[in-house]
């Protein structure tokens, strides 16, 4: 998927989500990557017919937040889009895969990471829709995930701390 097609896809995603949820907050981030990673992500977007993914900020009845530990810090459960999947289905699948049954209650924001490399190619947008959800249950333990009453110090991105 060329950068121009990815930008058109991003416009469609934002328009569709705005139609469903009203105003959409967009958080933009520029991320420098090596040319091979840029190519890998672009090829994956071609194969999946869309770039990006989705996740959810899931709260349990006690108000705790479900977070997954990554190599770079704690974040909401999420995953890349699969063929034919919409963003809500993607977010729901990411949480369900952890053993928690989510109920999506709204859209928090769309985090758009613009991948750039030193070859001076156009930025490649990667939309990641983050939904708000309720859930209950015990994560199945197959991944490093847990309910948190307070946010851990090491977060994948600071926007999580500012928005919760």
Provide CB contacts within 8 A for 139, sequence distance 6+. 66, 98, 99, 100, 145, 146, 147
Give the total number of structural domains in the chain.
Answer: 1
Over residues 64-73, the pLDDT tens digits come to 999 998 888 8
Give the mean model confidence (pLDDT) for residues 125-136. Answer: 92
Provide CB contacts within 8 A for 36, sequence distance 6+. none
Give the mean model confidence (pLDDT) for residues 98-108. Answer: 93
Q: pTM of the prediction?
A: 0.88
Q: Is the pLDDT of residue 159 over 90?
A: no
Give the mean model confidence (pLDDT) for residues 117-132. Answer: 91
Please report, for the domain that includes residue 152, its CATH number.
Answer: 3.90.79.10
Look at residue 61 in the predicted model and tell me its pLDDT. Answer: 93
E strands, the chain, in order: 26-32, 53-59, 65-70, 73-75, 78-80, 101-116, 124-136, 145-148
Residue 80: domain span = 3-163
Q: What is the 3-state secondary structure (H, E, C) of 3-43?
A: HHHHHHHHHHHHHHHHHHHCCCCEEEEEEECCHHHHHHHHH
- The residues pairing with 54 across neighbouring beta strands, listed in sequence order, are 79, 129
Higher pLDDT, 117 or 153: 117
């Amino acid at each position: 998927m060329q950068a121009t097609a990815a930008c058109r896809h991003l416009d469609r995603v934002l328009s569709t989500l705005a139609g469903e949820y009203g105003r959409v907050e967009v958080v933009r981030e520029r991320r420098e990557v090596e040319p091979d990673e840029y190519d890998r992500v672009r090829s994956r977007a071609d194969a999946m017919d869309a770039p990006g993914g989705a996740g959810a900020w899931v709260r349990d009845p006690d108000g705790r937040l479900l977070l997954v530990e990554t190599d770079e810090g704690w974040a909401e459960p999420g995953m890349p889009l699969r063929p034919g999947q919409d963003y809500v289905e993607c977010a729901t699948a990411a949480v369900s895969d952890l053993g928690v049954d989510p109920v999506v209650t709204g859209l928090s924001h769309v985090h758009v990471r613009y991948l750039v490399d030193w070859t001076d190619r156009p930025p490649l947008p990667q939309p990641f829709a983050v939904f708000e959800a309720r859930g209950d249950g015990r994560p199945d333990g197959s991944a490093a995930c847990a309910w948190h009453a307070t946010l851990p110090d090491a977060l994948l991105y600071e926007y999580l701390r500012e928005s919760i």
